[in-house]
Every structure is written in C-alpha cells, then in structure tokens.
Structure 1
Amino acid sequence: MRFISPAKILNIGPEQVIMREYNSKYFLEAEFAAQNINMPDTIKRSVVKRQAEFLAGRIVARDALHAIHHDDCQIPIGEHRAPVWPEGIIGAISHTGSAAIAIVKKQQENAQVGLDMEVIIPEEQCDQLQAMLINEEERQLLKQQDLPWSTLVTLVFSAKESLFKAIYPEVRQYLEFLDSKVISFDSEAQTLSLQMIRHVESVTFRPRYDVQYRILDNNVVTLLI
C-alpha cells in the first residue's frame, strides 16, 4: 500500500460495508485527478490530513456504489458536510486517520442509513465525555455490560453519531448526544438500541433505533439501517 489499500468487505450483521486503509503520509494532491474525483474548494483550503481523509472517503463511497451496480459519479459536500448522494441513493461515509468506510442503499420509503467509525477513546478521556454523552440511566445500563468502559463509551458515542447521520435528512439540524438515549445493549448479538428523547417539529421518530456494531482492534464501527 502507498496511499490507499484495495477495498475489502466488512460484515456488520447482515450488511456489508466497504473499507479501505490509507496512509496520509503518502498522499499527494495529484491523487484526486488520478482517481477522477473532484476536490471541492473547501477541501483545497484544508490541511493535508483532511484532504487525504476526504479522498479516501470518496473512494470507498464509489466502491460502495459499484457494489450495487451504480455508475461512477461525483459526491459533493452538502449541508453540515453531509455527502450529497445521486438521486435514488442513500448512504453514509466515515473515517478515522487510517481507514475509511462506506455503505449505500437504493432509496426506499422510510429507509435510513447511518455509519460511523471511531478509534477507541482513551480511558482518561471517558470521564470528561460522560456528562455530554450519557445520562445516569444510561450509565447504569452500560455498567452492567462485560466490556471495557472505554469501549462502551466509544460505542455509544459512535452509535449516536450513526443515529444523527441516519435521521439528518429529516431533521436538518444538529442534535446533542443527550437528545437520544441507550435503551438496550446486547454484547453477544453486538447490537444496542437508541431512543430519541428530543422532539423535533414535523419529524416522526421510530420508537427505537437498532444499531449493529463491530470492534476491530482499537476501533469500533456502528451501523444503523
């Protein structure tokens, strides 16, 4: 691998996510032209790390489109940095500093997609995050789980990010982590469920949002369909 590795399949429950590892140390701006991917003006003004992760994300997004037999296309940046998918397609992209993942689906009524990947948060940072991430009821539920606390905190962080991505096309606004809560957690099935607490005018939320997850070395991936 120089800049980016070949695509591989990451199975999360019954779904298949496209993943590629990349190394920003080997990134050159010419990679955009080589990949036939446009570099938006906002990305041109960004630091190299952001340019590399953006390109890696768009490459796996294209891989995901190919997986459902969709032709190549550019995927611009929309509101709140959300990708603008071609008509009839919904999807999500996520990345860490060394890997990018994506999944797309053909648009169907009430279909939603949320996907997120995070490096496991160091133990010493978890206490600082708890107040903005979970309430006391959630903390008690998580404490019953047989996983390291840092992994649990990261999973909840990531799951709520996936939820936000999934419902953003409806809510069109930023949400706080405490606007949703964990209502169940099953480490054997590798699933957790969230419920929206906040009311958003003209939006009808599901009674619960089931999120599947995978733990990969020092990373977690969460997926909401």
Structure 2
Amino acid sequence: MNTEKQLSRGANSYLDEINIQYEKLTAFGLEIHKVQLSQIKEIFQLDHIYQELNIFLPPNIKSSRFIRQLEFLTGRLAAKYALQSLNLQDSIIYQGKHGEPLWPEDVMGGISHVGSKKSCHAIAYARNNTVKEKTFGIDIESQKHYVFFKKKDEFYDVFLNKNEQAEIEKLQKKQAYFYLVIFSAKESIIKAIYLKYKQIIDFKIIKFKQLDGEFIYFHLRQESLIEINLEVKVQFFYTNNEIITISCIEN
C-alpha cells in the first residue's frame, strides 16, 4: 500500500522531502502496520514533520539524540496508520510514566521500532479493547543486530538459562538468526504481559519450549506479586532486513 495517497499534506509539505514506505501485515488475525522512514537528515525536518502530522513530541524525546527522535516519529506514524483502521487517526497518543504509549479510550495497542541514521522501521497495531479474548505484544529487530549474538555467554545469560542456550544452539544451525528471534520473541511477550497485568517481568521467567514452523512456544511462570502461569505462542517472520515477532496470550 502506498502511503503517499493516505497522508494529507499542504503546499510545500516537508513530507514531500522524505521517503515513506508502508505495508500491512497479518498475524493471529491481527493487522500490523509497518512503516519505514528514510531521507531525513536534519532535526529541523523532524520538528516540522511532527507538527505537520500532529504527533505529540514529549520533552524527554525532544531533548534526545536525532536517531531517538526519528525512531519515536516512525513508531507514532505506524500507530497513526493502526488507528486509521478504527477511524481514530486524528487521536493524539501521549506517553505514560514508563514511556508506554497512551492509547485513546477503549483502544489497546502496541508499537515497536528499530533504526539507524539512514532509515527507521516501526510496527504498530491498535484494536478495540472490548475484545478481550487475546492480548498481543509485538517487536521488530534489525537482522544486523545479530552481530551482538556471536557467542558471548555473558550476553546470552541476560535472557536465556543454560538449558535454553543448549537447545537453541542446536536449532541455530537450521534457523537463521535464531538467538535474535528468541530475544525478540521474549521482548514481545514482556510487552504483552505489561499490557495484560501492568507488570514488568524478567526475561528469565520466560522459558523456551519448542519451535514449530513459524511459531515458537514458551512457558511463563511467576509466583511473586501477581501469580502468572501461562503457555505463550509467538509467531515470527522475516522482512528484507528485519525480524518481526508477535506474541499472543489467550485470556
């Protein structure tokens, strides 16, 4: 789908100076909106685009580095497309105390982004919060980030136990970027758990169980604070340069 037809712009629009690519993906019956922004080189361009698209720019983001402002913009633009499916594209998404997006009333959603100074990618979804049978978390990672997973035990220990590392090492030979896929999958689960329970959990309580095609299964158990005992299914797929994961918690 071509975003050029969907973004309203006035004369001498700064949107004419940048490259915006948009596509819609589907997983678990959920529409996921993916945006790529490139050809933005200066902060003054970002300022004008934020204003033109009526996207809220929090003070902590405005004072941050260029790349952080670009990532935030790309994520909020993806969210704008997601809200368009609910006829809420003019709604302003504010920022919560933990940095989470504050969606319009009766809307549940998620945003994830990854980028560099040359381009930034983001995904988002938004759905009616009255549909409560499932909770979703989403994550996007650059395949270039796999360089961080070149067998550094101390890094793996942050998000995997030793049994998981042994299992994933076997699968790594057949499945490209699998350590990065697992990292992303656990990130998406953490986001889904926060949406459902308003609680931030640790990577280590999410245990890898098995790989089945494009789906990964995890078991999650926690007894402190809120007791959680769940089986979680995650779908993953590759784009040209990214890995996208979507976790689904059955309510």
Instruction: For 2:124, give the aligned amino acid.
Output: A
TM-score, normalising length from structure 2? 0.79
Distance 1:201 1:20, change over 3 A: same
- 1:37-56 aligned at under 5 Å gives the runs 37-56=55-74
Q: Deviations over 1:113-167 (max 9, x none)?
A: 200000123346342321112112222332342213xx11111111111011111
Q: Report the equivalent of 1:85.
A: 103
Q: Give ranges in structure 2 of 5+ residues lacking alignment.
A: 1-15
Distance in 2 separating the partners of 1:112 and 1:124? 30
Q: Does 1:8 align with 2:23?
A: yes
Point out the structure with the larger strand share.
Answer: 2
Q: Deviations over 1:77-105 (max 9, x none)?
A: 11321111111111110111121111111
Q: Is the 8 A contact 1:93 1:102 kept in 2?
A: yes
- 1:169-188 aligned at under 5 Å gives the runs 169-186=195-212, 188=213
Q: Is the 8 A contact 1:4 1:20 kept in 2?
A: no
TM-score, normalising length from structure 1? 0.88
Distance in 2 separating the partners of 1:172 and 1:13? 22
**1:65 pairs with one of 62, 74, 83:** 83
* Identity of matched residues, %: 26
Distance 1:158 1:164, change over 3 A: same
Q: Does 1:194 align with 2:218?
A: yes
- 215-224 or 173-182, which deviates more: 173-182
Q: Report the equivalent of 1:147.
A: 175
Q: Report the equivalent of 2:36.
A: 21
Deviating 4+ runs (over 6 angstroms): none
Q: Does 1:32 align with 2:50?
A: yes
Larger radius of gyration, structure 1 or 2? 2
Distance in 2 separating the partners of 1:134 and 1:54? 29
Instruction: For 1:74, give the aligned amino acid.
Output: I
**SS of 1:87 mapped into structure 2:** coil
- 81-90 or 118-127, which deviates more: 118-127
Distance 1:2 1:209, change over 3 A: farther
- 1:172 deviates by 3.4
Q: Does 1:210 align with 2:236?
A: no
Distance in 1 separating the partners of 2:224 and 2:133? 17
CA RMSD of aligned residues (A): 2.1
Q: Deviations over 1:47-106 (max 9, x none)?
A: 111111111111110100112333521111113211111111111101111211111111
